[in-house]
Structure 1
């Protein structure tokens, strides 16, 4: 039998007491679209198959004790051979309030939940830019930010392990 009161039991079923996660403001920080070959690209038969490349980056800036700006940068480039058909860039940002999290959980929230909250808006903006530029609609697939975060953690661990091995080797070489 539990010795917690119903009020305490109800609080533990939801979010732990004192934890806060909110998206306070959502905004586009920067947007760009270029079609360097227009209008010729629309009239000519393309010599090859278009290739799409997407680059994704994230940055976090602490603004106060519990306030963070998270920015998601997405660049989509479409090329045929070595010629760029279009380039679409969006910097989607949000102001988040995050309180009551231990440092490891805070890092995970900033690396998964925050960019996942921004991604649908950035994805819509990129799609609208490409279509407004006269190109066929392009729908970016959903991303697994938890998987991306886990890969980022593995890379950080490998770099730290490599740095520790590298510094140990240098020390041994100097002795």
Structure 2
């Protein structure tokens, strides 16, 4: 059957990722040495950030994806601040083949969540009395490739009794 413009209808809809919801699951910000830590610093602090992505399937086409961001800023003597953020989203994958779902969930979904998590952290650090911390963009594709390589090498490693 032709549609209104004379063209045949498409048999398959285009692949899509729908963000059904996004939310903060857990958040902590610590400023353990305030107000002493709020003064001028002789050197720039050492800032460390760890990123983890977890996902679980919660329905036939639905996945919950979590970005776990942990970080701290320290001087030689003190911790200036620490934070932990578990930011998540519920995503629905439409017309994405099962063989492609894992990389989509682990790369594209966190890429969509990251700007919101980044802003939460920047606002919290600023609210703690420091200049806002804008985390550099994260290459989730490179992280995914690195993790897949690590998992493959662990499977290939001989086991000893």
TM-score, normalization by structure 2: 0.86
Structure 1, residues 21-59: CA drift from partner, whole Å, max 9, x if none?
A: 21100111111110100011124x535431000010111
Equivalent residues in 2 for 1:156-175, closer than 5 Å: 156-162=151-157, 166-167=158-159, 170=160
Q: What is the DSSP-based 3-state SS (H/G/I as helix, E as strand, rest coil) of the residue aligned with 1:130?
A: helix
RMSD of the TM alignment (CA)?
A: 2.2
1:78 matched residue in structure 2: 73
User: 1:18 deviation in Å?
Assistant: 6.8
1:104 pairs with one of 76, 99, 102 = 99
Native 8 Å contact 2:54 2:106 kept in 1? no
2:25 pairs with one of 26, 29, 41 = 29
2:140 pairs with one of 120, 125, 145 = 145
User: 1:82 deviation in Å?
Assistant: 4.9
**1: CA distance, partners of 2:94 / 2:155:** 28
Structure (1 or 2) with the greater helix fraction: 1
Unmatched tracts of structure 1, length 5 or more: none
Flag the 1:41–1:155 CA change in 2: closer, same or farther, 3 A: same
Is 1:126–2:121 an aligned residue pair?
yes
**2: CA distance, partners of 1:116 / 1:98:** 15
**2: CA distance, partners of 1:21 / 1:48:** 44
TM-score, normalization by structure 1: 0.80
Unmatched tracts of structure 2, length 5 or more: 1-5
Native 8 Å contact 1:50 1:78 kept in 2? yes
